Amino acid sequence: MNLIQNIDMNILIFIQEKMHTSLMDKVMPVITSLGSGGLVWVFITILLLMSNKYRKVGIIMALSLMLVTILGEGIIKHVVQRTRPCVDVPTMKMLVKSPKSYSFPSGHTAASFAAAGVVMINSKKYGLYALLLASLIAFSRLYLFVHYPSDVLAGVILGLACAKMSSMAAKKFF
């Protein structure tokens, strides 16, 4: 575990020392806020559910978001109980308020990739945009020093797995 922790910290230090700019310091909190509570993804889900043409995709996305929340936030975070980098390095200057919940996996990232994965499965054209937004939200969590890279990677994997499982389950019912 120390090897992973060392790699995680080295990546975060690189981001902190080499990638911070005054513009990014303003943009990244806005990008991360899009993923707070799955806000942007819930909004997109509601729009899809309101559309006759895309209601099925909206149902799958809602299922994927519920599944990823139950697994990631409800179970895995409480089993693993990993502290956040901003807790482990309290001297770091923070651009956002330090979250109080556990770090592993990244909930912002998991929800983003759960939703973006559903979009990608159902529309390659829009899926690329969704994956780009999900990736920006995931990177913002590293930039803002609230997650380790392995938290974000686990969020990507969990989110995509939930998207796939939800899509497969929907095929049995639609």
The pLDDT tens digits for 11-37 are: 999 999 999 999 999 999 999 999 998
Could you tell me the pLDDT band of residue 91, with boundaries at 50, 70 and 90?
Answer: confident
96: left (phi over 0), alpha (psi -120 to 50) or beta: beta
Total domain count for the chain? 1
| pLDDT for residue 171 | 86
The answer to whether residue 21 is domain-embedded is no
Checking if the pLDDT of 174 tops 90, the result is: no
Dihedral sign for Cα atoms in the order 105, 108, 111, 117: negative
The answer to whether the beta carbons of residues 85 and 148 sit under 8 Å apart is yes
Q: What is the pLDDT of residues 145-171, one digit of tens each?
A: 999 999 999 999 999 999 999 999 998
Checking if the pLDDT of 64 tops 70, the result is: yes
Pick the closest to residue 81 from 73, 89, 70, 92 (CA basis): 73
The answer to whether residue 4 is domain-embedded is no
User: How much of the chain, in percent, has pLDDT values that exceed 90?
Assistant: 85
The answer to whether residue 91 is domain-embedded is yes
The answer to whether residue 62 is domain-embedded is yes
- Other CB atoms within 10 Å distance of the CB of residue 125: 8
Name the amino acid, one letter, at 14. Answer: F
The answer to whether residue 23 is domain-embedded is no
The answer to whether residue 10 is domain-embedded is no
Q: What is the pLDDT of residues 96-137, one digit of tens each?
A: 988 889 999 999 999 999 999 999 999 989 999 999 999 999
Checking if the pLDDT of 1 tops 80, the result is: no
Could you tell me the pLDDT band of residue 173, with boundaries at 50, 70 and 90?
Answer: confident
Domain that holds residue 125: 28-173
Where is 90: in which H helix or E strand? none
The answer to whether residue 8 is domain-embedded is no
The answer to whether residue 19 is domain-embedded is no
